[in-house]
Amino acid sequence: MGILNRAPAPIDADRPAAADFVRVLATWAVGAFHIWQQSWYGGAAPAHWLQAGSVGVDLLVMLSAFCLFLPWANAAVRNQPLPRIRPAEFYRRRALRLLPAYYVSLLFSLVLAVARRGWSKALALDLAAHLALTQQFYRPAYLACQLNGVTWTLTVFALFYLVFPLLAPLCAKWPLPTLAALGLVQLGYTCWLLPQYGSGDYSARFNQLPAFSGVLAVGLAAAWVFAKFAHGGWAQHVLPRAGCTALGLAALIWLDAEMRAQAAAAEYQQFQLINRMPLVLAAAAVLVCFGLGLTLPGVLRRALRWLAALTYSFYLWHQMLTVFLKYDLHLPAWAGDTPPNQLGDAAWMHRADLLYWAAALAVSIAAYYGIEKPAVRRFSKTPQKMCAQKAR
């Protein structure tokens, strides 16, 4: 009974470790999918996670809404003044977070594209769309990308960030109408788009922002629910916290079942659009329940936070680097016109999988410490210097 009566470590209501867990899980799923496409090695993860890993993007969109809105939800629950949001400053912080690492990876992909096919008008238009984060609006840059194909998601995030300064106050003051409106937008968009399945229009549109508006609503609602319960007196007792951890495990099983269903779908992109909400609801349940559950030991929290910090650079580099190693450098070594995985060389598949994961992680670490962190330090000082000069 002594253990049951002991107060557990307090919930981190401002930055739950569960958010880092979901970020790492979703990014790992995307990476596993893309690396498996090139290596064909099936021993690195359950088969359905390899085959359906691309839908990890849906989880990342939900998680972005959760993390950005959580300070607002916490303030509302604590009866504190809502955060003051200046759009220009918000956009500056978001640009600082995304663009330096993105543009460096884009430069690398441009050098590769020119080396492979030479300069062309099509490549110039592709580059212009990527520089402006509008690649989803220009079909050749989205469906036949010559640069870094995974970065189409930045169009979705950029549009979400564009409306967030308006969306956050609305959701804080009128949560139910705002969440319902977002859900209806996705429902209406889905009903309009599904009859177009099989066409080029469907392929170009099923990952546009309106198809994620309900996903954003799930993230916003998850932040509300988490904030509401994170500050309750019940959190000082072991048993209810342990119960939340058990519910998180159950939600993880639910998420695994959704991934299995996605992988088994005969019409993959059609099923993805239909099944998008159950998938992110399962992930949101994992996020909230683990966030309210028993606290991880400090060393595990720090390790998880470090891995989560690497996920953006990993996402930017993993696919592009894998293709470069396989087809440009022929690594692991292979000769001829047909890659060894297509010839059934299981030993090569295993070596390739190990190499591609190791290279992606190594470059992610280098990009995080060599680009992301220095850029934040360098450019975050600029407004402070300007204010200091004005004060003189």
Residue written as token pair 């049951």 = 4
CA 158 and chain centroid, separation: 13
Which token pair is 282?
């399962």
Tokens 């410490």 sit on residue: 369
Contact 217, 179 (CB under 8 A): yes
> Cα-flanking dihedrals φ and ψ of residue 345, to 5°?
-80, 95
In sequence order, the 6+-apart residues with CB closer than 8 A to the CB of 219 are 61, 62, 63, 64, 65, 66, 69, 280, 284
How far is it, in rounded angstroms, from Cα 281 to Cα 65? 13
Q: Are 235 and 292 a contacting pair, CB within 8 Å?
A: yes
**pLDDT tens per residue across all 392 residues of the chain:** 344 456 788 899 999 999 999 999 999 999 999 999 999 999 878 999 999 999 999 999 999 999 999 999 999 999 899 898 899 999 999 999 999 999 999 999 999 999 999 999 999 999 999 999 999 999 999 999 999 999 999 999 999 999 999 999 999 999 999 999 999 999 999 999 999 999 989 999 999 999 999 999 999 999 999 999 998 888 889 999 999 999 999 999 999 999 999 999 999 999 999 999 999 999 999 999 999 999 999 999 999 999 999 999 999 999 999 999 999 999 999 999 999 999 999 999 999 999 999 999 999 999 999 999 998 888 776 544 434 444 34
Alpha-helical (H) ranges within 265-345 are 268-292, 298-323
Measured CA distances, 370 to 8, 101, 367 (Å): 38, 9, 5
